[in-house]
């Protein structure tokens, strides 16, 4: 497992981008403190402020190559560590509170959402592979799912870029809008957390979207989201079996993401079950067994929150709102309609099991 931390770059190469992310994080904390001083309460917390501040910087200035490794390190490695640490705040009681009905419902929602999203893309005229990418990204875990599925079905670089371009921006919009949707629907902490986990694309975005509703919402949202992520394995296996039956490409798939498995082959286990999910589950087990001292729980939670905010700053720095125009009308319509449908299916599940 420790080999997963072996970085292809050194501290000096990540320093510029990491310092930039820390600067954006500091600005986010300062803005939150300003809110508290002026309004008596942080209506927009530092998690969301970091996204907005990062996106603002990215819109005004495009970081050069020397910044990229540090931003990538902050967005990926620091986030993965934060997710593992977050496991210390989730006990078996939280999982039992979710109930088997919700856990089974997550599987059903993902299956329905993939099929429905693919149908929407197909009806709007998207190529088969792009429709599959959008469907899997929308239904499972956004860009991570797109990157994992692309080599399995033989999608090329243009398909991947078009699919990722809009989901990256839409994911941030969902994070900002979801708390207002949750309040309008009258969801409580458990229900809203589950709703965020069912609908938001990436783990850090779930944490940011759930944070305004409190710690319980964050715990529930993270748990539900990680169950969704685990669905990536079965989906990739299924698509690998179906890949030979897909219609032939009109051009050679010479732009498949570098380093991935060839088309139609199942990715290695490390790509289907990321190490940080195993780490998260291990921390949950340690917490449930009482092996994590109570005195460490608060510091671990604080560190997890800080690292998450840094990763959110990196996420904002990687979002260029101008990429929406490049995604194209059919892709945009497919992603938006699929997300609305996913939200409707998720809310119906929560109503059915008494979470709403």
The pLDDT assigned to 176 comes to 84
Rounded percentage of the chain residues whose pLDDT exceeds 90: 29
**Vertex 271 angle, CA 254 and 139, to 5°:** 85
pLDDT digits (tens, 9 = 90+) for 287-308: 888 899 989 988 998 898 899 8
Average pLDDT (326-352) is 87
The pLDDT assigned to 251 comes to 40
**Vertex 282 angle, CA 276 and 285, to 5°:** 145
The pLDDT assigned to 264 comes to 52
The pLDDT assigned to 11 comes to 65
Of residues 332 and 2, the one with the higher pLDDT is 332
pLDDT digits (tens, 9 = 90+) for 253-293: 333 333 344 445 655 665 556 677 788 888 888 988 889 99
Average pLDDT (203-221) is 85
Flag whether 41 is in a domain.
yes
Residue 261 dihedral angles phi and psi, to the nearest 5°:
-65, 155
pLDDT band for 34, please (50, 70, 90 cuts). very high
Six token digits for residue 204: 């850090």
Of residues 329 and 324, the one with the higher pLDDT is 329
Confidence check: pLDDT of 5 > 80 = no
Average pLDDT (61-84) is 88
CB 138 within 8 A of CB 113: yes
Flag whether 256 is in a domain.
no
For residue 345, give its domain range.
14-242+268-353
Confidence check: pLDDT of 110 > 90 = yes
pLDDT band for 252, please (50, 70, 90 cuts). very low
Flag whether 124 is in a domain.
yes
Question: Domain total for the chain?
Answer: 1
Six token digits for residue 232: 């990536």
pLDDT band for 33, please (50, 70, 90 cuts). very high
Q: Look up tokens 């286990």; give the residue.
A: 269
Flag whether 194 is in a domain.
yes
Rounded CA-CA distance 242/130 in Å is 15
pLDDT band for 89, please (50, 70, 90 cuts). confident
Instruction: Report the residue count for the chain.
Output: 356
Beta-carbon neighbour count of residue 301 at 10 Å? 16
Flag whether 6 is in a domain.
no
Flag whether 260 is in a domain.
no
344-220-139-275 Cα dihedral, nearest 10 degrees:
180
Flag whether 37 is in a domain.
yes
Assign residue 165 the CATH number of its domain: 1.20.1530
Flag whether 3 is in a domain.
no
pLDDT digits (tens, 9 = 90+) for 142-199: 776 776 787 778 776 666 666 766 666 777 788 889 999 999 999 999 899 999 999 9
Full 3-state SS string of the chain = CHHHHCCCCCHHHHHHHHHHHHHHHHHHHHHHHHHHHHHCCCCCCHHHHHHHHHHHHHHHCCCCHHHHHHHHHHHHHHHHHHHHHHHHHCCHHHHHHHHHHHHHHHHHHHHHHHHHHHHHHHHCCCCHHHHHHHHHHHHHHCHHHHHHHHHHHCCCHHHHHHHHHHHHHHHHHHHHHHHHHHHHHCCCHHHHHHHHHHHCCCHHHHHHHHHHHCHHHHHHHHHHHHHHHHCHHHHHHHHHHHHHHCCCCCCCCCCCCCCCCCCCCCCCHHHHCCHHHHHHHHHHHHHHCCCCCHHHHHHHHHHHHHHHHHHHHHHHHCCCCCHHHHHCHHHHHHHHHHHHHHHHHHHHHHHHCCCC
Average pLDDT (328-352) is 89
Confidence check: pLDDT of 321 > 70 = no
Rounded CA-CA distance 10/305 in Å is 25
Query: Directed axis angle between helix 189-199 and helix 92-123, to 10°?
Result: 40
The pLDDT assigned to 19 comes to 96
Rounded CA-CA distance 344/300 in Å is 35
């Amino acid at each position: 497992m420790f080999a997963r931390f072996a970085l292809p770059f050194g501290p000096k190469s990540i320093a510029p981008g990491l310092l930039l992310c820390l600067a954006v994080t500091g600005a986010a904390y300062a803005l939150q403190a300003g809110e508290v001083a002026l309004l008596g309460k942080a209506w927009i917390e530092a998690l969301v402020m970091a996204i907005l501040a990062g996106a603002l910087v990215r819109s005004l200035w495009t970081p050069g190559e020397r910044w990229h490794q540090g931003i990538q390190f902050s967005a990926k490695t620091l986030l993965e560590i934060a997710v593992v640490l977050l496991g210390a705040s989730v006990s078996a009681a939280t999982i039992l509170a979710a109930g088997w009905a919700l856990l089974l419902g997550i599987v059903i929602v993902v299956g329905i959402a993939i099929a429905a999203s693919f149908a929407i893309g197909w009806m709007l005229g998207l190529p088969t592979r792009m429709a599959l990418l959008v469907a899997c990204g929308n239904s499972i875990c956004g860009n991570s799912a797109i990157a994992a599925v692309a080599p399995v079905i033989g999608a090329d670089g243009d398909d991947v870029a078009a699919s990722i371009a809009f989901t990256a921006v839409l994911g941030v919009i969902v994070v900002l809008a979801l708390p207002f949707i949750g309040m309008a629907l009258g969801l409580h902490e458990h229900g809203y957390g589950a709703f965020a986990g069912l609908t938001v694309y990436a783990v850090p975005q779930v944490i940011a979207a759930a944070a305004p509703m409190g710690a319980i919402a964050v715990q529930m949202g993270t748990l539900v989201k990680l169950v969704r992520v685990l669905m990536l394995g079965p989906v990739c296996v299924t698509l690998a079996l179906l890949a030979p039956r897909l219609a032939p490409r009109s051009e050679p798939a010479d732009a498949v993401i570098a380093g991935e498995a060839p088309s139609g082959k199942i990715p290695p286990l490390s790509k289907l079950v990321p190490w940080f999910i195993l780490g998260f589950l291990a921390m949950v087990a340690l917490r449930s067994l009482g092996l994590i001292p109570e005195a460490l729980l608060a510091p671990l939670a604080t560190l997890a929150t800080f690292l998450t905010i840094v990763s959110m700053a990196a996420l904002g720095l990687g979002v260029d709102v101008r990429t929406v125009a490049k995604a194209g009308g059919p892709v945009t319509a497919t992603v938006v309609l699929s997300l609305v449908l996913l939200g409707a299916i998720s809310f119906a599940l929560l109503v059915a099991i008494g979470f709403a």
